[in-house]
Homo-oligomer: A and B are copies of this chain.
Amino acid sequence: MCPAKISESAVRRLSLYLRVLDAFELAGKTTVSSGDLAERGGVTPAQVRKDLSHFGSFGKRGLGYPVSELRERVTEILGLGRRWRVGLVGAGKLGAALFFYDGFRGQGFDVAAIFDNDPDKIGQRWGRLVVEDIESMDRVMRTSQVEMGIIVTPAVSAQQVADRLIASGVEAILNFAPTRLQVPPGITLRNVNLEIELESLAFALTHENGA
């Protein structure tokens, strides 16, 4: 009922449901059925029920799920009942875009440190933070109690940055650099790779038969 082995995609769907629940709660609905959630989330009702059932029985038969309570439970399950401290490595354009992106702090994630190795960037003030030298990562990460790292450096530096992050105690990394990173077991890594996304679109357009 609680934790066996939840698939990566199931977890991502929970994020989705959470957003749908937010919308329903805002709209004043007090209960939703798996069908309601499914429709707004673009999945099947059975999928919704199965996903939720991994963590317990939150619904009432014949009625559906209590919106507010389910929202709380899913928030808890995803580990969003608290705030997370994030370190951003790479003070380039993409780093800036992420840093100044609002729906970030709104969701419980605080950027607590920014790093770069470019002397021109180090010392710059970004909002309430100052861009730190990558060399002082270990010290800064520990004093700021950073738990997650986001890599927005060029590909060549990414592995080195990942190694440093891990050495500083970070156990979860989101990598935007177009490189396959090697991380030891126990470290969670997610990749966002623009090139791969575009190439998969190119493949789809090239191999579509009809239309």
A contacts, CB < 8 Å to B: 3, 6, 8, 11-12, 14-16, 18-19, 40-42, 77-80, 84, 86, 92-94, 96-98, 100-101, 103-104, 107-109, 147-148, 155, 171-174, 178, 180, 182, 186, 188, 190, 192-208, 210-211
Quote the shortest CB–CB distance from A112 to chain B (angstroms): 14
A197: chain B residues within 8 A (beta carbon): 174, 190, 192
CB distance A201 to B97 under 8 Å? Answer: no
Once the chains bind, are B211 and A188 in contact (CB under 8 Å)? no
Task: List, in ascending order, chain B residues with CB within 8 A of A203's CB.
Answer: 11, 14, 77-79
Q: Are A188 and B204 in contact (CB under 8 A)?
A: yes
Q: Are A201 and B180 in contact (CB under 8 A)?
A: no
A180 in contact with B79 given A96-B97, A194-B98 (CB within 8 Å): no
Please indicate which of the listed interface residues A14, A174, A205 has the most CB atoms of chain B within 10 Å of its own CB.
A205
Query: How far does the alpha carbon of A201 sit from the alpha carbon of B190 in the complex, in Å?
Result: 8
Listed A/B pairs (26) with beta-carbon separation below 8 Å: A6-B207, A11-B203, A14-B199, A15-B195, A19-B178, A19-B180, A41-B180, A77-B203, A78-B199, A79-B205, A79-B206, A84-B202, A84-B205, A94-B98, A103-B155, A107-B195, A107-B198, A148-B198, A148-B201, A172-B202, A172-B204, A173-B201, A174-B201, A188-B201, A190-B197, A192-B197
Q: How far is the CB of A209 from chain B (nearest CB, A)?
A: 8
With both beta carbons as reference points, the residue of chain B lying nearest to A192 in the complex is identified as B192
Partner pick for A103 among B147, B192, B195, CB 8 A cutoff: B195
5 further A-B contacts with Cβ under 8 Å, apart from A41-B180, A84-B198, A96-B97, are A12-B200, A19-B180, A42-B180, A78-B206, A107-B198
Query: Judging by beta carbons under 8 Å apart, are B103 and A178 in contact?
Result: yes
Choice from B40, B199, B205 contacting A107 with Cβ under 8 Å? B199
A196–B78 CA distance with the chains assembled, in angstroms: 10
Q: Is the pair B15, A199 in contact by a Cβ cutoff of 8 Å? A: yes
A79→B192 contact, CB < 8 A: no
A192 to B175, CA, bound (A): 13
